[in-house]
Structures are given as C-alpha cells and as structure tokens.
A and B are shown apart, each in its own frame.
Chain A
Amino acid sequence: MSSPAGPSRIGGLGPRHRKPPTVEPRVPTEDYDEEHERLTTNFNHPRNRSAIEQYMEAPHAKQITVVVLTVLAFIVRFAKLNHPDQVVFDEVHFGKFAAYYLRREYYFDVHPPFAKLLLALAGWFVGFEGDFDFLNIGDSYSANNVPYWGMRALPAILGSLTVPVVYYIMQECGYSTIIAAFSAIIILFDNAHVTQSRLILLDAILIFFMSLTIYSYVKFRKYRYHEFTFDWWAWMLATGVFMACTWSSKVNGILTVVAVGIAVMVDLWDLLDWRKSDNERITKHFLARVVGFIVVPLIFYLFFFWIHFAILTHSGTGDGFMSPAFQETLIGNELLMNSHEIRYFDTITIKHVNTKNLLHSHPQRYPRDYPDKRVSSQGQQVTGYPHEDENNNWIVVPTKALPETGRGRIVRHNDIIQLLHVQTDSFLMTHDVASPGYTTHQEFTTLPKDQMHRYNETLFHLHLIDGYEGQVLTTKANHFKLQHAVTTVYMMLPGHELPDWAFNQQEVNGHRQPEPEGSEIWVGDAIVAGEHLDELDERLGNQKDRKPKSMNFFSKFIQLQDLMFAHNAGLTASHPYASSPSSWPFAKKGISFWTQNEGHKQIYMVGNLVGWWTAAGAVFLIFGIFPASIFAERRNIPVLTESVTHRLWNSCGFFVVVWVVHYAPFFLFSRQLFLHHYLPAHLASALIAGAVLNFICTETINYPISYRGLDTPPKPREYADLGVKGPVFVGVFTLLQFSLFIFMAPLTYGTPGLDGDEVNRHRLRKSWTLHFASKEMADL
C-alpha cells in the first residue's frame, strides 16, 4: 500500500499508521505541508506524469480508445443477431405490441409507449406489417416471414452506443482514459447487457437513455460557472429530454428522474447559501430548473402518449381495460357497436361490473332464521347470478309523467326509477333489515305490486358515473350506481356467496359506504324487449356505421396512467425465474430466456461474474470510504486533499446516488422482480467501480474540470497519474472479463448447444438453473 506518494490514505486511517490523536485539536503539521507541496509541484505540471499516462491522455489516443470500444460493442452485440429465429422470452409481449402499433389496434401495457414506439418504427422500417402475433416463446420467425432481425437491431444499436456514452461520462468527470475505458469495458463485455440488447426488449433502450441523461447532467454541471448561457441551457434541456425518454421507455425509468431530481435538489441547496446568491439569482435558478427538469420532460412524456393514442385508433385487445367512454373512441369497438339508449318500460338486464353477475330475483324467500339467531324479513330473494335467465329481466318504470313519444321517454342521469321484476311482477326494494351475510348491510328484496303503502321504499336514484345533468343511460357504455331514496344505501354486491337456500348465488345488499371499492357499480347489459313488440328492432338497427366518439386527451391520459399504476402493483404472481433484489449484485440467479431441445441450445440471461463482482466490490468499498471520510473530517484529521474530497463527494457521490436510487426502491416493491431490473443500477456500479479504482490507484486527479467562468477565481491545476498499476490492473481485468465472456457466450447467444457435462461446467454458481444439465447429478 505504500505508494511513492506517501502513506496511503486508506491505510492512513488504520491504527498502524496513525497514533491516536491527542486531546488538543489537531493542526496541520509540517509533514503535512511538505506532503502537500510535493503533490502540488509534482502534479501541477502534466509533463511530470508517467509515460503511459501522458500517452493515453493525448487526444488521438482517446479517440482511438473510443472507436475501438464502440466497434467492439457493435461486433459483440450484432454477432449472430438472427439467432435464434424464434420468439424469445418477453419478445412475446414487446414484439406483439410493436405489431399492434403497425396494425393500429389498441392494447394495454404497464409500460409507457416510447420504447415500444421505437421498436414499431424499426419494424416498419424493415417492412414488418404487424401480421404476426408473437403468441408463444419458441414460435418461428422465419416460417412466418417476420423481419425480426430489423427489430432486434434497434436495441442492439442503442445497447452498443451505451458503451461509448459510459466512456464519455467518466472522461467528462475528469477520470483518466484508462479509468474511463475500465468502466466502459464492464458494460462492453457483460453477458447480461449483451443478452438484453440483442432481443426485442425495452431494457437496452431504457439503459441507453439513462446513460445519456447522466452524461448530459454531468455536462450541465460543468457549465455551472456559465449560468444562463446557451451551453448551460442546452445541456439542461438535453438532460430533461433524455430523462423524459428514459421514463417513457419503461416504468422504472422514473428512478432516473428521481436520481437526477436528488442531484438537482442538492445543487439548489448549495446555491441557496446566502454567501453565494441573492434572492434574485436563486429565484432565476429555481425557475430555470422547474422548466428544464419538470415542464419540458412532462411535455415530452405527454407527447409520447399523444402519439400513442394517435396511432392506436382501432379496437384491439386493450379495450376491456378502459372505461366505456374511452372504448367508444375506438373504431370497431364492441361497445360502440352495441350500446343503445334505454327508454322507460324497456325490459333490461343489469350486470355487476366487477363480478359480471346479473341482478336476479326468484320466487324463493329468505329463510326466517339465520344461524347467528338473526331473523330476516322473509321477503323474496334478490341475488346476483352469472348466467342468462328469464329471472334476470327487469322493467325500468318511471316516477314522472312521460310524453307519448320521442326523446322524453329516455332514462337519464339523476332520474328516480323503479325496477319491476318481470317474472314475479314485483318491485325491487330495500329496507332496514340486516342482510343474510352482513349485520351492517341492508337486505334487498321485492315488493308485490299491490302494496302501494310502501311505494317510497321502491324508489331508487340513478347516478351515472361521471354523469352530467341530462346524460342518457345506455347499455354497456354507462356505469351507474343505484341509491335507495329513503335509506340512501347503494345497491352493491360485496362478493359473498349465499348458502344452499339461495342456490349458492351471490348476495346483493345495500350500504352507505360500499366496500370493496367499486362493488356498487352496475351497468345495463342488454335490452331484452321494448315497450311495444316491433319498436325494438327499429331502434337497435342502424348501428354499424357509428362514428367513434372523441375524448379529451388529458382524460384519456389520466385514465391510462391510473390503470398502468394499478396493474403494475398487481403483478405479484410468482414466476420460476423471479428473484429477490438482494441476490442481484452478485448475479446469484439468472433468467432462462429460451431453450431448444434440438441441439440443447438455450439462452440464459446472467451477468459476467468478473465484472459484476468487481462492481459490487467497488460499491462495498465506497460505502467504507464515505464514512471514513466523514469520520476523519469530524475528528479534524486531514487525510485527503481538498480536490480529492471534492471529486469523491461530487462525482462519485452522484454515481452512488444513481446506484442507490436505481436499486433500493426494489426492496419496497412487492411485484414480480427479475435480474434485468438491476441492469440500470449495474451501469451505475460500473461508474462507481471506475471512480473507486482511481481512488485506490492514486491520490491525484485531473482538477478542476468544470469550465471556468469569467469571475471564478483560478484554482491550481492538477493532473492525474495512474502510474503503471492502473493500466496493469485494467489490462488484467479486461483479459479476465473477456475470457469469461467468451466462455459464457453459448448461453448468451444461444449457440452452439452444450451437452450435459458442458452445461454443468457452465453452471458457475450452484443457484443458476440451467437446462439440459447432465442427468448424472442424481447419482452423485
């Protein structure tokens, strides 16, 4: 550890090197001054650096490095791109969605549309017409003439470009070429990143835009002494736009927004210091950031959804998720075709929206005594029944005078109605008697026509959901609630099965505050008969050429957001390849993407252990270095030079924030999680690894790196020198990483096939569940 530059910093904290400080506050000693002077004289001049460093820092060497890295990235990601010519893993979903865009059929997915739009664009570009359904993993592309390689090329291109972006992030942060290359190589030869970017999946796109966001933000920070100049604005807006692209690619892109948000807040907090800025300056900065980091990204996010809606104009698989009003905006939608106005004295069936049960009644009565010693009214049973039946028919009876003909006879929002059960000729009612299953709910029953003294108890207010005054009640399209006029309870179906005496049908009852949510929502299912026999056909005809209705973009957008959120939270089913976040950094468990029995081929998505463990180790180290640095500062022990502390907190600290924000929240999600959710955090850990390597190898850095402004006081320049250690370490690392990458390649590219013994040899960790493992395992 004893480098020529003096006692190493890490060792310096240990008891071996440093006697416990005395009680007096420590002042910088002479030793320290000398040390500092030696450092500054040595590294204040670029020519004093080692030969390798000087060579690698030359502009042409940097260019060559980038070109080599990029070319390698393309080779690695495009090799055998057309293999396998079958649907792999989630291509089932994302390929299908691209096809829907091309067919313009509405679908529903939990992820925002941007990445899928790009995939569709790629498909369109190579001539895919959307005529393939991506039904099952293993379906053949070539047999169906799908230009799948064109669609796979898009993630592959973006995935390849991620590598130079990572390189540039590190370079812009002031790290040496070697260090920057090191971070880039962790991504370049990583089996997980390569697997993910060779297929029609969203993650490569997400990661590319995420890295661009980080890059732009670093650039923006470097222009901080040139505030409100063109460059400053340009990089801020670039950050905002890329942030929006990341977020619009996949739901978890929101984490990138959070990470940048935290960095911006820290930055603003710094600016808020009264010594730095007056009120006017801080206000300007604040407003500028609101525009750049909130308004612009939001506009882009909305814009992508606008495109999404603009393309998907036809009815498709996603209709059923949406509200009736939304569905009626889609061409060819079933609701649009089959929804009819309901008039008084129509005979209709009424369906419970959540459970699809129909409102039903039959001559049987509620039993007098319940097992818990309560008694019923012994009225006629009213239940929910999921099958078609004569007993589901109800006539809507008005409580107001109707005109003879015309539109006055239509049932409207806020009308007070009665429902007449056709088979038993009695009116639906409820009263203050507890229902069979719940002591807190009211019983629903029917009232024979002759008991007019209880007329009031048969009256119900009809409330359309989101209804407006005078809105027409239609079948299928208008959800409604029925509120009892006297007791103000809502008719609801809580999901409780009645015993044998009601033929195990569903209980219908009433409560003021219905639980679970939505259990009081009903919809007119069909008009069975009109008041007069012949009128109905006439009314129901002429529907085919109905024009789709229009709907405000923002209401569509908000509805879709709500649904996406709800469904994302609902993805909790277990999956054999799901894994827990704690297992990710060490690549404990991968995902089987695809298998083919013939030739024993398989694609198994898992990280390159060399790179992943190095990166994870670096993260562990940094979480030791930070507290040590805080501790030293608290005890007033000078261990690090100001510039190194500055770099450690401002640059590496930012990477750590990115890593934590892209990783820690997953511990709180109860949804299905997979290894590929760690890939953005893995990219951040690669950046941390570079910073940590620099910190370990040398106590010199390139400093300052921000563009100096007109009134910024000059700082003495320093130059980094990795010496020989750095390049040697990176060289050895690259060799190991590359060898393991090649070794694992059959699992990454899905070819060539492996026999049982080879599979066993490729199972580097016991927890990996590879297919076609040798059967002899059992006899061991």
Chain B
Amino acid sequence: MAANFRARRPPSPPPQQIYTPPPTQPRFPHPKHEHLDADERRTQASKSYFAGRRTSPGGLNVASAEWKLLVLVVIVASIVRLFRISQPNGVVFDEVHFGKFASKYIKTQFFVDVHPPLAKLLITLAGFLFGYDGNFDFKEISKIYENVPYVAMRMVPAILGVATVPLAYLTMRGLECRATTALLAAVFVTFENGLVTQSRHILLDSPLLFFTSLTTFLWVCFCNEDKRHPFSEGWWTWLMLTGLSLGAVVSCKWVGLFTIATIGFSTINQLWSLLGDLRVSPRLWIRHFMARALCLIVVPILFYLFIFEIHFLILANSGEGDGFMSAEFQHTLGGHSMQDTYADIAIGSAVNIRHINTQGGYLHSHAHNYPGGSGQQQVTLYPHRDSNNDWRITIAKDSGHPETEWADEPLQYVTAGMKVRLRHIITDKNLHSHDFRPPVSDVDFQNEVSTYGMTGFVGDGNDDWFVEIEHGDKSDKESSKRLRTLRTAFRLKHALTGCYLFSHKVKLPDWGFEQQEVTCNKNAMKANSLWMVETATHPNLPLHAQKVNYRLPSFLAKFWELQKVMWITNAGLTDRHVYDSRPHQWPRLRRGINFWVKDHKQIYLLGNPFVWWSSTLAAIAYMSVRGLLVLRAKRGYRDFDNTKVVKYDSLCGFLFMGWFLHYTPFFLMARQLFLHHYFPALYFAILLFCSFFDLMTAALRPKVRLQIGAVLMIIAIWNFWYLSPLAYGNQWTSHKCRRAQWLRTWDFSW
C-alpha cells in the first residue's frame, strides 16, 4: 500500500507553494508551572479559566455539534424508558402506595405517609389532568387497572428519568471532562436496568434522582461561575436555582437530605478556601457566607414549606391519616368539626376525657370484663365518639348520694388537688385501680385499671383520684387553677397507691377489641399520663354559660406536627420485607426486588451488572489511590504539584463525596431498606467511573479515546439487553432466564 501511495504522489512539492515547516512547539505543550503557587495551579488546571476565552454561562463549553448529539441521546433514552410503558396493565410493587396516595389527593382525604409530598403531587397532577377520578383502590400488586390513566401517571417518573440522562452529560461537561466521557456517562445512565425499571412505574425514586442530578448540575455550574465572576447576575441565578432544586429533592423524599449534605460539605470547603485566602476581606467573606446561607438554607426551607402548604390545601378533608394526628389537627379537617362545648367543669359534669400524647382516643369502658387479673370491667382508650366514653365527675366520699346530691347544691368547680371519682354513666361503675398487674404490660410498676361497682354502691377508697393540673392555657387564666374543657392538661393520681392514670401505644388482644391499654403507672412518663376534657355538660349550668371549641393550629404548628409523625412512622418501619436488603449488599448487586409477577412474566428490579460493578470499583479505586497519594505526600513525594493530579483530585473528590454521603448514612438506619435506596449513590458512582475514564484516557488521541469509550458502551448496552426482559416484563424463555441468573442470590423465580 505504501508503495502505491508514493507512486501516485507528485515527485516534489509544486514550486509555487512555499513549504512551511511544522511549528516547533509540540502540539500539547507541557505547561511550565513550577513558578506557580497552589491557587494559580488550580486555575491553570481549569480549562475554562483562560483569559480571553469566550465565557459561557456556568462554564459550560458545549460545542454546537454536541447539542445535536445530546438530542440523539435524549431520543435514545426516551425509547429505552418509554418502551411499552403501558405494560403491565396492573399494579406494580409500590404503586400500591403511591397510586393510592394519588387517589387520596384527588378525593382530598387526609393521609399520612413517610415521604414529603412533591413527587406524589406531580404524579397526582398527571392523573388529574388525564381525568382520574380517584376511585381505584390500588389494593394489591397485579390488580388490573380500571379507569385509571396509569400511563400518564407513569409518564411523570419516566420523563424525569429521561431528563436525568442529558443532565449527566452536562454535569460531566461542567466538570471539565471531555465530550466522550460525558457521552459515556449518558449511555451508562440510559442503559442502567435498575434506573430504567424504577422510572417506568409510579414510584418516587425517579423524581428524587432527577432532582438530585439537577442539583448536582446546577451546583457544578455555580462553582464554575464562582471561579470567574462572584456576585454576578449569573452567579446569583445558578446559586438560587441550586437552592430551589435542593428544596425539591428534599420534598420528594427525606433521602434528599443526603444531597443537601453533599452540597453543604462542598460549600463549607469553598468557604474554608476563601477563609484561608487573606486577600478576601472579612466583609467580602461574610457576603459570600450570607449569600450561600440565603440560597442554600433559607430558600430550600421555604420551598419545602410551600410544598406542604399545597399538601394541606389539597387534603382538606378527613381520611385514613386522622388517627396519627392530634385532636387539634384533626379539627382542621373537614368532617371532624365538633359542637361548641361548655368551658366550665364542676362536680356532676358529664365529660369525655381524651388522652393527649397518643392518638388512642377517649377514656372508655364497656360491659366486658378482663379475662385475667381482677376480672372486673375493662377500661380502654377508644378513638371514636361513643356513649361509652361518658363519665360523670363526682365527689369522693363514702356516704350519701354522690351521684345525685350535687344537683341540689351550688356549682362546685373541679380545682387542682381535689379528690374525685369518675362514674361510668352507662354501666354505673366507678373508675377503679388496685394492686393487680395489667393484662398486657405485666410489670411491677403498673397497676390494672378497671371499673367497679353497681347501681346504688357509693364506691370505695380505690375509686378516689386526685386531680393534678399540669398546665393550663395561656389565653385562659382560670384553666391553670381549675379544670376547663379543652384548655387544661391534667393528671389523675390514684389516692391510695400514688400511681397515675396512664396509657401508651399498646393494644389489648382480641378480648379487648384491640383498643388501647389503660393502666395506672407508678413511674409514669409524664407525657403519657396527661389527659384533657374534650366535652363537658352540666345540667345546672346556665344556658348562656361560656362555650369553647378547639383552637385551630397555625400552618407552622400543623407542619411541625406532621414532620414529627412522619419521623416516628419512618423510624417505625422496621418489619422485614421479603425483598428488603442491607446496605452492604448494594454495591455488589447481591439481590434485586421482585416488582411484579404474572403469567410467567416478571418485573424484577436489578441493575446493569457491568455499570454497577464498574462504578463500585471506581469508588474503591478512588479510596485507595487517594489514600496512597496522602501517604506519599507525607513521605515527601510531590504529587500534588502536578496540575493534572490537582484537577482530577478535586473533581473525583466531589463525586466521591456525593457517593459516600448518599450511601454510608444508610448503615445507621434500622428501618426496612431496599436496593433502590442506592440509586442516588449509584448515580455519583457512575459519574466517578466516567471521570476515571477521563483521567486514564487523558494522554490518548481523541480517536483512541472514542474507541475505548465505544467498547465500554457496547458492553453496557449488551448487558442491558441481556437482562432487559426483567425490566420490561417481556416474554422470556426459561432457558434464557436460567442462564441470566449470574449470581445465585439473584432470586427471580424460574
């Protein structure tokens, strides 16, 4: 071949053309940076910083050909994620929950969920726009959809999932990686089976991941801008957008707090560098600090509050979640209103008494006896209004007619320290306690509480209770001196044994109709021994006597209460699930989640093993290399004088921190965990792998780099294709299925 070419060539350059020798400088000169200090080296390492270069917003130097490439990438990603999205036409995995919540939103019935509302609101919006009426119950997995625009609802996570792909591309470009690297990242995210599966159903993780990647992208652009023009208009825009996006992440799922932590640490790092820069005056530093505090703390909080405001506005009516909330909260919901009731409580008042700390309800008794202990009549907490909740307050004395004689006497208000009895009106028995252990909480410091007596029986000393007023209400001064309806929190102390009337979240067995246990506790936790009177009537009260009702809590009070309930519910999710897993299994992709099985078809959440394992390797490699570099620096090697090391150290360091902060906190959580909790961490790990690729191929020619990149992409796509029937729920031969089970622990059934 060479000979042929030579033969065809003209014998010598044509005489009219003057030969210009190639430039003497090498094409890629080694920068002379020995004379630079650390800051200058860092700037040198950053390509976009060179003076005279056209600056684009956010330091994104994206060529126009790349935009075309990006369009292509988005089209491919849409095909991958939207392929047969209507299949299966039944409920898949947690669509049971999130679909149900969408129904609740549409029917405006209050519910409590452990996740903040944003992603659920988006899904609801899609359902609402496409005419969903909220009448489907999402009862169990693989129930067939009827009259549900489930495709529209699935489109929300799917579209956000597609949007994650170009964000990954642009983030890598913003981090000054090469276009090939960015393409590699986009392809890895596109063809990640787990991300695909998760984004095709009505689930929250895809929106969460979208906002996580959006935040990362915006933050990267902000950092680029910060190097060039702090406090410019663009700088403020990027910073504000980052803040809004942070608010959105944490409004999808609380896992978003890890994203906040990532950005937070990165901010602290920035501020710390600025602090060490003595050219930055304290005033300027404070401006830097305040700007970040405003945009990265205040703005996300406001956004989060705003989302909850919408949540409350929509859920205006009573629903399944009522039982979690306090009485005041419940009275803000439609269908829960209560008639005004008399404020004064006197001897002879008929009252309903409510337990303050738990949502167990009203002090209750019914004509059934304890099977053990004293065998007397049961006392429980019952959450609904019922005439068995009615008690009459009588004076404690052992003779006369305390049940009736108050009717002839002037009103005697119930004050602090008064010794009273509580008479259950329907069964005519007194609230009673004695030295028997309660049926469920069988411990030394608890006594059983029962009702005891009969018509005409005055009662005995074990029926006597001291009223101890814990606190009244600020608006009603009387309420801290004597009992006032709804305003006074009080305790009831048993006169003879000194124990307090007490209840806690313990259910009685079947014989107690699963109502909440009431005991008398000698060592009572104060919060659980507080009671209040919810309604009171007294025949002798004048008609015009003062009446009261619940005071409706403010938005912030409701917000805060709901946060606490969400936290407690979340921490309480400790039951095992058949397909749950622990964090140490995730990076190895030990096991997936069975989403849906029907007619020998299955959807099984499982990652792309190649993408997954290579990203894990990247994280491990970063740790070892960085450790080695630190050790070498300590032993006098000057690696960190190399601009390339500086550049990739800060770049990989940021991504590694993202992975680390989105992964390790799960080790501290005792609650049920699933493979999809690893997705945000996986996203960072994929980007980390790609930046490693960028480093490794930095010295190669662009063509070779592209070839290596193409090989990696093809392996990833082949892997995706190999396992894709599990992602889409397609037909599969049992032979192929069996062969695809690379690890014994992947338990898709065959």
Contacts and interface: CB of A to CB of B under 8 A. Distances in A.
Given A779-B417, A780-B417, A440 B578 contact: yes
B100 to A, nearest CB: 21
Nearest to A21: B282
Contacts of A780: 416-417
Given A273-B634, A778-B493, A779-B417, A576 B278 contact: no
Nearest to B524: A576
B466 interface: yes
B523 A634 contact: no
Nearest to A773: B498
Contacts of B272: 634
A634 B276 contact: yes
Contacts of A22: 281
A24 B634 contact: no
Interface in A610-636: 631, 634-636
Nearest to B498: A775
Interface in A1-47: 20-26
B746 to A, nearest CB: 13
Contacts of A24: 278
Nearest to A440: B578
Interface in B491-512: 493, 498
B279 interface: yes
Contact of A635 (B278, B445, B636): B278
Given A20-B283, A576-B523, A779-B417, A636 B278 contact: yes
A22 B284 CA distance: 11
A269 B634 contact: yes
Interface string B264-302: 000000001001101111110000000000000000000
B635 interface: yes
A668 interface: yes
Interface string A753-780: 0000000000000000100000100111
B529 to A, nearest CB: 13
B445 A576 contact: yes
A275 interface: yes
B417 A778 contact: yes
B523 A769 contact: yes
A20 B282 contact: yes
B543 interface: no
B636 A778 contact: no
Given A274-B635, A576-B523, A778-B417, A23 B275 contact: no
B369 to A, nearest CB: 24
Contacts of B498: 775
A272 interface: yes
B275 A778 contact: no
A672 B282 CA distance: 48
B395 to A, nearest CB: 16
B279 A23 contact: yes
Contacts of B283: 20
A669 to B, nearest CB: 12
A23 B281 contact: yes
Contacts of A272: 631, 634-635
Nearest to A515: B576
A22 B445 CA distance: 67
Contacts of B275: 631, 634-635
A780 B466 CA distance: 11
A440 B748 CA distance: 12
Given A576-B445, A769-B523, A778-B417, A274 B276 contact: no
A540 B417 CA distance: 72
B225 interface: no
A25 B668 contact: no
A493 B633 CA distance: 58
Contacts of B631: 272
Nearest to A767: B526
Central interface residue in B466, B498, B634, by most chain A CB within 10 Å: B634
B517 interface: no
A755 to B, nearest CB: 17
A271 to B, nearest CB: 10
Contacts of B278: 21, 23-26, 635-636
B403 interface: no
Contacts of B281: 20-23
Contacts of A576: 445, 523
B574 to A, nearest CB: 11
Nearest to A22: B281
Nearest to B522: A576
B504 to A, nearest CB: 11
Interface string B356-400: 000000000000000000000000000000000000000000000
Central interface residue in A21, A26, A440, A576, by most chain B CB within 10 Å: A576
B468 interface: yes
B521 to A, nearest CB: 10
A273 B468 CA distance: 68
Contacts of A275: 636
A576 B668 CA distance: 26
A778 B668 contact: no
A269 B631 CA distance: 9
A103 to B, nearest CB: 30
A106 to B, nearest CB: 30
A649 B267 CA distance: 27
Given A23-B279, A24-B278, A274 B636 contact: yes
A778 B467 CA distance: 8
A220 B341 CA distance: 76
A771 to B, nearest CB: 11
Contacts of B668: 668
Contacts of A634: 272, 275-276
Central interface residue in A24, A275, A769, A779, by most chain B CB within 10 Å: A779
A285 to B, nearest CB: 14
Contacts of A21: 278, 281-282
Interface string B644-681: 00000000000000000000000010100000000000
A778 B276 contact: no
Contacts of B276: 634-635
A154 B503 CA distance: 45
Nearest to B469: A780
A24 to B, nearest CB: 7
Nearest to B466: A778
Nearest to A516: B576
A24 B445 CA distance: 69
Central interface residue in A20, A636, A775, A778, by most chain B CB within 10 Å: A778
Nearest to A269: B634
Contacts of B282: 20-21
Contacts of B445: 576
Interface in B403-454: 416-417, 445
Central interface residue in B278, B282, B468, B523, by most chain A CB within 10 Å: B278
B468 A778 contact: yes
A273 B445 CA distance: 61
Contacts of A23: 278-281
Contacts of B523: 576, 769
A274 B417 contact: no
A23 B636 CA distance: 33
Central interface residue in B417, B668, B670, by most chain A CB within 10 Å: B417
Contacts of A779: 417, 466
Contacts of B280: 23
Contacts of B416: 780
Interface in A644-678: 668, 670
Interface string B595-631: 0000000000000000000000000000000000001
Nearest to B635: A274
A248 to B, nearest CB: 29
13 contacts: A21-B282, A23-B278, A24-B278, A25-B278, A269-B634, A273-B634, A274-B634, A634-B272, A634-B275, A635-B275, A635-B276, A635-B278, A636-B278
Give 3 nearest A-B pairs by CB, closest first: A274-B636, A779-B417, A25-B278
Given A22-B281, A779-B417, 6 more contacts: A21-B278, A21-B281, A576-B445, A634-B272, A670-B670, A779-B466
